[in-house]
Amino acid sequence: QLVVDILEKETAIPDTRKLVIPGTKRQAASAEDQNAVISALASLASREIVTYDQKDAFTYLLTAEGAQIARDGSHEALVWAAVPPKDSGETMTIKQLQESLGQAAKIGQGKAFKNGWVGKDRDKLFKLVAKIVDTTREELNEVEKTGTLKGGEKAVAELRKRKLLDQKKSLWCTVKKGPAFTTDLRKPETDLTAEMLATGSWKDSTFKKYNFDADGTPTNGGALHPLMKVREEVRGIFFEMGFAEMPTDAFVESCFWNFDALYVPQQHPARETQDTFYVSSPLRGLSPPKDYLDSVAQYHSRGSSDGSSRGYQAPFSKEESHRLLLRTHTTSCSARMLYALAQKGKKDGFKPAKLFSIDRVFRNEAVDATHLAEFHQVEGVVADRGLTLGDLIGFMQTFFAKMGLPNLRFKPAYNPYTEPSLEIFCWHPGLGKWVEIGNSGMFRPEMLEPMGFPPDVRVHGWGLGLERPTMIRYGITNIRSLVGHKVSIDGVEKSPAVRF
């Protein structure tokens, strides 16, 4: 306020050290005063109320030795004071002088001779003059009082050389009115509010300028987990190919839908507890439709009525069908959907379908760097009249090519529910080898007939894991840094969306 009030009358302030501090008669000469002035000027300048130029100034302080001289006198003056006048009869030798003055005698002697203050007759010392002017002491006294010397730079340099002064840098300024000069220093408004519009107070308010160069604050949004980013990408590929998504909410499933409906024999080793997590409570799940269960039981134990399949020729337990487990594959979801599709076809006439799912499955396997007891499966099934193995292979080639894997190889394999079955390998250019990525096949009549499909309807399907392609894509070697409590939140937020 002081600055702008003066500027209003004077148009410029040539030296801010001459400002008189309000309420005192003191000038703002000290370094602290100037620092306060400069920070006020900087804030005024940011609002273009003033412009100012910053200048350097030097002030001086006495060193410890300088302060002692200012108090007691210079060494040469001490020497002069100690020696007797010329014809007083008293005598003093150099040795005696040194004994009485110590260090000061050594330093002051030379200068006292040079100044013509003392003389020497052999080893006797005596005063040459009756009076001296101790300039050093006077200059130091002046510096002590004013911080500077009228005698100018040369005198200052001499005292600094003798280590009697320390230099201190300080700043001062010249000030002029700025383009937006005002004496109204109320804080400028940062926002135009509804209230200001309503009361009209905006008319006499000043507004803070927009800073278009300011960095925005980073937003704290949610982020998809890398696994979910890959999931979204794969979903997109399925949708692009005209697939519909299956519901996959039944994590706890019955043996019936997970195994029996898929023609997995009840004596199959994969059903054993080392592979499957069984649920101990509740022990029994809901019953499947009775006709369907009966039909599945017949196909398992004796085969089809026309004798084209002989079944497993082994007992089938409906009790076992009701046991609950954590689903070991999403093919249980496919089985439910295919059964519903076949039943609907019986009523309304069969309609072809392309279905997919991506969700979690559970297996009681040894956990290591690339395997967990739960993981995600991607699965696609296609149902239509007269489908062939060629259709399955063609479909997979299109699908995996869209994932950036155009080079596929197939190897005959075994699944209880498909015949033929194919393992899928892809060439991984990064790893430089063939990698197994999935499993596929034509679903068996023993599975499709009990569901109620017409005999010429064929269903093929394929499945793959989600974790493996994700790990390859993001260069992750340990699954624990992708899933679980060791996952870096930062990494999740920063990992880019993928493009296969």
Nearer to ligand PHE, 256 or 462 (CB): 462
In this chain, which stretch among 37-45, 269-277, 458-466, 485-493 interacts with ligand PHE, using CB under 6 A? Answer: 458-466
Amino acid at residue number 264: V
Phi-psi category of 132—alpha, beta or left, where left has phi over 0 and alpha has psi -120 to 50? beta
Nearer to ligand PHE, 345 or 463 (CB): 463
Sign of CA pseudo-dihedral 203, 209, 212, 218 = negative
- For residue 84, report the phi and psi dihedrals to the nearest 5 degrees: -75, 155
Nearer to ligand PHE, 34 or 332 (CB): 332
Nearer to ligand PHE, 6 or 270 (CB): 270
In this chain, which stretch among 82-90, 197-205, 336-344, 461-469 interacts with ligand PHE, using CB under 6 A? Answer: 461-469
**Nearest in space to 416 (alpha carbons), one of 270, 254, 250, 257:** 270
Nearer to ligand PHE, 400 or 462 (CB): 462
Sign of CA pseudo-dihedral 174, 177, 178, 179 = negative
Residues 166 and 160: their CA atoms lie apart, in Å, by 7
Nearer to ligand PHE, 177 or 329 (CB): 329
- For residue 437, report the phi and psi dihedrals to the nearest 5 degrees: -115, -15
440 scored as a contact of ligand PHE (CB under 6 A)? yes
Tokens 């309420």 belong to 23
Pair type for strands 353-362 and 244-245: parallel
How far apart are CB 383 and ligand PHE at their closest, in Å? 12
Nearer to ligand PHE, 44 or 227 (CB): 227
Pair type for strands 374-385 and 353-362: antiparallel
Can you read off the two tokens belonging to residue 33?
Answer: 């005063």
266-305 positions binding ligand PHE, by CB under 6 A: none
Contact 4, 51 (CB under 8 A): no
Phi-psi category of 394—alpha, beta or left, where left has phi over 0 and alpha has psi -120 to 50? alpha
How far apart are CB 361 and ligand PHE at their closest, in Å? 7
**Nearest in space to 415 (alpha carbons), one of 395, 432, 438, 396:** 438
Nearer to ligand PHE, 229 or 329 (CB): 329
**Helix or strand holding residue 43 (H, E):** helix 31-46
Number of residues engaging ligand PHE in binding (CB under 6 A): 11
For ligand PHE, what does the binding mask look like between residues 399 and 438, x meaning CB under 6 A?
Answer: ----------------x--x--------------------
How far apart are CB 289 and ligand PHE at their closest, in Å? 22
461 scored as a contact of ligand PHE (CB under 6 A)? yes
How far apart are CB 326 and ligand PHE at their closest, in Å? 14
How far apart are CB 394 and ligand PHE at their closest, in Å? 16
How far apart are CB 438 and ligand PHE at their closest, in Å? 7
379 scored as a contact of ligand PHE (CB under 6 A)? yes
321 scored as a contact of ligand PHE (CB under 6 A)? no
**Nearest in space to 420 (alpha carbons), one of 391, 398, 399:** 391
Neighbour count for residue 20 (Cβ, 10 Å): 12
441 scored as a contact of ligand PHE (CB under 6 A)? yes
Phi-psi category of 200—alpha, beta or left, where left has phi over 0 and alpha has psi -120 to 50? left
DSSP SS3 for 144: helix
Nearer to ligand PHE, 172 or 259 (CB): 259
357 scored as a contact of ligand PHE (CB under 6 A)? no
How far apart are CB 266 and ligand PHE at their closest, in Å? 18
How far apart are CB 375 and ligand PHE at their closest, in Å? 10
DSSP SS3 for 68: helix
Residues 474 and 498: their CA atoms lie apart, in Å, by 8
329 scored as a contact of ligand PHE (CB under 6 A)? yes
Nearer to ligand PHE, 66 or 463 (CB): 463
How far apart are CB 433 and ligand PHE at their closest, in Å? 21
Positions that interact with ligand PHE (CB under 6 A): 329, 331, 379, 415, 418, 439-441, 461-463
